Amino acid sequence: MARGGAYRRAAAAVHAALALIATGAAPEPRLVWAFGDSLAAGYGLPPDRGFTAQLQAALRRDGSAVTVRNGGVAGDTAAQGRARLLWGLRGLQRTPDLVIVELGANDMLRGLPPEQAEANIAAILQVLRARQVPVLLAGMRAAPNLGPDYARRFEAMYPRLARRFGVPLYPFFLDGVAGMPALRQADGLHPNAAGVAVVVKRITPAVQRALKTSAG
């Protein structure tokens, strides 16, 4: 029975592919959803210079038919992201091929307990796993003024979550930008357009690997 079902699904996929070839229709671009805070939202930047726009452009330059949708809300903590997750998924009107989960920075900036952020990100990952949605988890580092104990607890949660849910981890979203004033906006926190370009250049290979794994 299982073999018959698998055969029928395979045959249906072949027929669908042949239909696309016959009609000349292009397959629908794969969908990446950047779900996070102001870093994903492109805070302070024109829409075409933010993270999602630059990531989509980079992926398409490399030959990937991908649409990147913005799921970032400035100021969101992990708890706020968790609260709007299902609403955001419904708004996409289709299941994404990959969700980049980028949350926790605002929890850290507010000095909230890392254990609280971890529990909320875990709840997000649990929902996505239940829906069989592939994830790339983007990590963050703690500000030095919060002290070594807080930094240790905060930064350890990302690899722990990646192991727990079996998802790939991009260790530090702002890699190459943190500590570089020329790549930050006047607030000293958010990357400018050039900084976003650095973020995108560094994270793109991880996104491509995650998309390849999800396709497999």
3-state secondary structure (DSSP) of residue 62: coil
Task: Note if 15 is an active site residue.
Answer: no
Cβ count within 10 A of residue 21: 9
Task: Note if 38 is an active site residue.
Answer: yes
Residue type present at position 155: E
Tally the C-alpha atoms within 13 A of residue 96's C-alpha that lie toward its C-beta.
30
Task: Note if 149 is an active site residue.
Answer: no
Q: How far is CA 157 from CA 5, 143, 151, 181, in A?
A: 41, 15, 10, 27
Distance separating alpha carbons of residues 21 and 134, to the nearest angstrom: 28
Please pick, among 15, 37, 38, 214, the residue that the annotation labels catalytic.
38
- Chain CA centroid to CA 216, Å: 19
Please pick, among 37, 76, 107, 190, the residue that the annotation labels catalytic.
190
- Classify strands 98-102 and 66-72 as parallel, antiparallel or unpaired: unpaired
Catalytic sites, residue numbers:
38, 187, 190
